[in-house]
Amino acid sequence: MKDHYDYIIVGAGAAGCILANRLTASGRHSVLLLEAGHEGRSIWISIPAGFGKLITDPRYNWLFQTEPEAMTRQRKIAVPRGKGLGGSTLINGMIYVRGQPADYDRWASLGADGWGWADVAPQFRKLECYPKGDGSRGHDGPMHVHEVTERYVLSEALLAAAQEAGHALNPDYNGPVQDGFGYYQVLQHRGRRWSVIDGYLKPARARPNLHVLANAQVLKVDLEGGRCVGVTYRRGPQTHRVRAGTEVIMAAGAIQTPQILELSGIGRPDVLQNAGIAVQHAMPGLGENYIDHYCARMDWRVKGALSVNQQRYGWRLALAVAEYFIRHTGILTLGTGLAGGFVKSRPDLPSADVQYFFMNASYANQVARELERPPGMTLAISQMRPESRGSIHIRSANPDEQPAICPNYLASEADQDSLIGGMQVARQIISQPAMARYVDHEKNPGPDVQAREQWLDYVRQVGQTIYHPIGTCRMGTDAAAVVDPRLRMRGLPGLRVADASVMPAMISGNIQGAVMMVAEKASEMILEDAREAG
């Protein structure tokens, strides 16, 4: 291994793997990709339903937790983050959502020049390999996107009930209009999880100008003369330094990117000083603007229909395993959402503000993903564009100490109203004739919950993140922005950020598609800058 590369990429998750592929494609640039986790080898990675095994496994999940906060009843809430080559694309629910065009036009209005919908739509098409859809979709990109193939009595009943309640069916929520109900699109191929390892890293690993190093925890970025010149990383008991001739690119995600930068002396002076770290580059906005999707789940006891609950035990499970390994179909192809919808929590809104995730299953323990034995179904409700803002900051100079994650969920009354309205609409849908015939009773929150304060109390007690943290290295042009619209660290040459942390505002739905788009666009910008520099 060399001690000098043109580019050093920190983090081999969704963004890092894409950057590694695109920056090495021409053969002109040498790239080092560093990942703190290992090379994933579990059989559960390729099996879509295996996320339930991996999401609580410390070998594949950093197991972050939020700080206790009053608005969520002083609970510590799990914040899963993927660990290993592929990052969270190894353990997530695989759901693929672009978001609404207005989301990206809002980014541009917030100072992210060049990131409006017209600017980013080509990047989505570039990464997609979607066999359906119109000209707005990509058909030959590296990431396979497929509609969920399984069909069940309860999922079909949900779509029928949604229509009875006045909601449209939408054959492609990633097309021109997001609003409506349908089956989810997932990153799978032939019944297997399709991660960025499959789409981007495997095709690039044979290139002589790419060096991939797992089990390499970056401790800090190295600064000299007001410039970023490389990184210091730990591998086993040894600490190493490696230099970047052109740039260090942070792609460690919305939690670990600001953590590493703060450990390097970059960030809010008060945070750094309290941690015993000398200020190298004051950046007041770093670690602020933490945004995440908060989700509450409603569930019902089912009658007259089979749910996944029964299929995950005994002889039915044996049949399901056999079906998967013979045909790559059945319940083991399911992730976190079978069918879903994008709806307005109140009719006067211009577009959907709430997202539904339907599964013909119910949980005895939602965090551990333990299913009940009696038949059940779940409808998870998430507000798509929360106004609440939190932060993530280091506690000390110890790189092994988890940072303090303070999401500030439900601080905004608008966020509360959106979630409550979405749950009320969900109850209305489930009460329609097409679905009511299969409902024995509403388990949670239960029919007695009617008043706003009752709904809010339930949301505070049971809500969880759905693993979409963004915003902690926000791009923009104002004084509080961390990176400029070309994702360069403001005032610190040689350092760029290209992951979920640069997003200035939340998109409408699951973020992994948007993270991939950011990495694709960042790659183009980096290569443009390299060409201009000669």
- Segment 45-62, tens digit of pLDDT: 999 999 888 999 999 999
Taking the C-alpha atoms of residue 88 and residue 21, their distance in angstroms, rounded to an integer, is 18
216-230, 242-256, 368-382: the lowest-pLDDT one:
368-382
Angle between helices 101-109 and 117-127 (to 10 degrees): 130
Q: Across residues 163-169, what is the average pLDDT?
A: 98
Q: Which of 322, 300, 299 is nearest to 311 (CA)?
A: 322
Among all chains, which residue has been given the structure tokens 């290139």? 207
| pLDDT tens string 335-374 | 999 999 999 999 999 999 999 999 999 987 766 667 888 9
N- to C-terminal Cα distance for the chain? 26
- pLDDT at residue 295 greater than cutoff 90: yes
Q: Which residues are catalytic?
A: 468
Averaged pLDDT score across all residues of the chain: 96
| Residues 504 and 480 sit within 8 Å (Cβ to Cβ) | no
pLDDT confidence bin for 230, thresholds 50/70/90? very high
The DSSP secondary-structure symbol of 373 reads S
**pLDDT at residue 366, rounded to an integer:** 65
Counting every residue written for the chain, the total comes to: 534
Pull the structure tokens for residue 358: 């339907």
Taking the C-alpha atoms of residue 143 and residue 202, their distance in angstroms, rounded to an integer, is 12
Number of other CB atoms surrounding residue 401 within 10 Å: 12
| pLDDT tens string 6-49 | 999 999 999 999 999 999 999 999 999 999 999 988 999 999 99
Taking the C-alpha atoms of residue 222 and residue 292, their distance in angstroms, rounded to an integer, is 30
Domains defined for the chain, CATH in brackets: 1-143+192-291+391-407+469-534 (3.50.50.60), 149-183+294-383+409-468 (3.30.410.40)
Of 322 and 358, more confident? 358
- pLDDT at residue 115 greater than cutoff 90: yes
Q: Across residues 219-246, what is the average pLDDT?
A: 97
pLDDT confidence bin for 310, thresholds 50/70/90? confident
Number of other CB atoms surrounding residue 28 within 10 Å: 12
| pLDDT tens string 72-114 | 999 999 999 999 999 999 999 999 999 999 999 999 999 999 9
- pLDDT cut 90: percent of the chain above it: 92
Among all chains, which residue has been given the structure tokens 């056999």? 322
Q: Across residues 273-298, what is the average pLDDT?
A: 98
| Residues 194 and 48 sit within 8 Å (Cβ to Cβ) | no
| Residues 233 and 239 sit within 8 Å (Cβ to Cβ) | yes
Report CA 436 to chain centroid distance, whole Å: 33
Q: Across residues 137-148, what is the average pLDDT?
A: 97
Among all chains, which residue has been given the structure tokens 């809430």? 77
**pLDDT at residue 511, rounded to an integer:** 98
**pLDDT at residue 369, rounded to an integer:** 65
**pLDDT at residue 261, rounded to an integer:** 98
Exposure b/e, 357-388, CB count within 10 A at least 16 = b: bbbbbbbeebeebebbeebbbbbbbbbbbbeb
262-276, 310-324, 433-447: the lowest-pLDDT one:
310-324
| Helices (H), ranges, 383-511 | 413-430, 433-436, 452-462
Q: Is 185 left (phi over 0), alpha (psi -120 to 50) or beta?
A: beta
Q: Tell me the sheet residues that pair with 442.
A: 300
**pLDDT at residue 368, rounded to an integer:** 62
**pLDDT at residue 105, rounded to an integer:** 98
**pLDDT at residue 367, rounded to an integer:** 61
| pLDDT tens string 457-500 | 999 999 999 999 999 999 999 999 999 999 999 999 999 999 99
- Which residues does 25 contact at the CB level (< 8 Å), separation at least 6? 204, 207
